[in-house]
Amino acid sequence: MANNKAAKPKAARKKSAKGGSGGKLSRASAVVTLVLLTLFVVFFVGRQLFLKPSAPASVEQSAKPQPSKAKVEKPSAKKSKKKSSAKTKKAAASAKKQAQKPRSKAASAVALANLVPERDLRPQFDYDFTAQVIEHEGYVVSYNADYKVPNWVIYELTLGETLGNLKRTNNFDVDPEVPEAQMAQLTDYRNSGYDRGHMAPNADMNWSQTAQDESFYLSNMCPQGHDFNAGIWLDLENQVRVWAERDSAVTIVCGPVLPRSSADAKRMKRIGKGKVLVPELFWKVVLMPYGGDVRAIGFVMPNHNEKVGRKNRPLTDYAVSVDSVERLTGIDFFPALPDNIEDVIESNYNIKSWF
């Protein structure tokens, strides 16, 4: 019996011990579970708080551009489009302008630069004239600020340009390239009894609106008697146009005969408050560089302010050699030409080859 009684407590202790160990494990499991649950909650809550907003944003960024970026890029695209449109319009306008011109401006400028007359300081001239050389769309002018008229005007007239048909504007104006104090004014010509006579004629510039407008600059004008301007001078302008049509192109240099001395300058008539010189003679030199043999001819005409019976005075009566014009004006024409050609064409002219 004792053994049996003794066994019971031992068995009970074993059972109790077994039961105690199970309790410890149960509590440990509970603690572990609680910790894991806490970590899970923390992880889950943290994910909700920190990770969830950024993840969709990342997805949105990869799926499509952000609105903020679109706002920045859109105006830039508009600006780019506007710039592109402006360039296109500018190019189109430039192309249209070039299409209206029968020859390139660059080619004309080069041709004129090689043929611009130079002042030849000969002993009989005791002075030199002032000069401001200005290149316009259709002509080049050497402007004299002392006399407020051109020293000379040079331009090329081609067959294509003779086909121009723009209407005459009569918008006479000052040349914006000349300082105002040195420029003749419209009031100088008003009630003076003299026309504003073109050197480069408007009718030779009606192939371009710009060229035509610039032909009315007062830097291209000289005081001319009306009957001279509308008479023999006009006849010569029309004849030059015929030569351009016949020989494809001609180069024209023209201008007034300026004073040969200070005494001449004091004697010659002036008009207006600006004291614009009234030339007594005008000259014109025409060069045919393309049609067959190179040739040139000159003309010298008196600036009459009365009728001179131009129908009875053919242009041939005013024709002279280029050398004669050089001696009268002190200008060396076409210095860029080879001397052997220049000497021949300037010393001789064959009327039959012209008229």
The CATH number linked to 301 is 3.40.570.10
CA-wise closest residue to 254 among 290, 309, 297? 297
41 in a structural domain: no
* Alpha-carbon separation of residue 243 from 35, 165, 255, 334 (angstroms): 112, 18, 19, 19
In a domain, 290, yes or no: yes
pLDDT tens for each residue of 50-76: 444 443 333 333 333 343 333 333 444
The answer to whether residue 94 sits within a structural domain is no
Domain-embedded: residue 71 = no
Q: How far lies 240's CA from each of 103, 106, 112, 204, 297, in Å?
A: 19, 23, 17, 10, 11
Q: Annotated active-site positions, please?
A: 198
Q: H-helix or E-strand containing 118?
A: strand 118-119
Angle CA 136–232–141, to nearest 5 = 15
> Helices (H) and strands (E) in the chain — how many of each?
11, 13
Say how many domains are in the chain: 1
By C-alpha distance, which of 192, 213, 214, 236 is closest to 140? Answer: 214
Question: How many of the other CB atoms lie within 10 Å of CB of 30?
Answer: 10
Q: Is residue 74 part of a domain?
A: no
On whether residue 180 sits in a domain, the answer given is yes
Each residue's pLDDT expressed in tens, for the chain with a length of 355 residues: 444 444 444 444 344 434 444 444 456 566 666 666 666 655 555 555 444 444 333 333 333 334 333 333 344 444 444 444 554 455 445 444 443 444 445 455 556 656 667 655 444 555 566 789 999 999 999 999 999 999 999 999 999 999 999 999 999 999 999 999 999 999 999 999 999 999 999 999 999 999 999 999 999 999 999 999 999 999 999 999 999 999 889 999 999 999 988 889 999 999 999 999 999 999 999 999 886 788 999 999 999 876 555 555 899 999 999 999 999 998 888 888 888 889 999 999 999 999 9
Q: Indicate whether 4 belongs to any domain.
A: no
Domain extent for 214 = 105-353
Residue 37 included in any domain: no
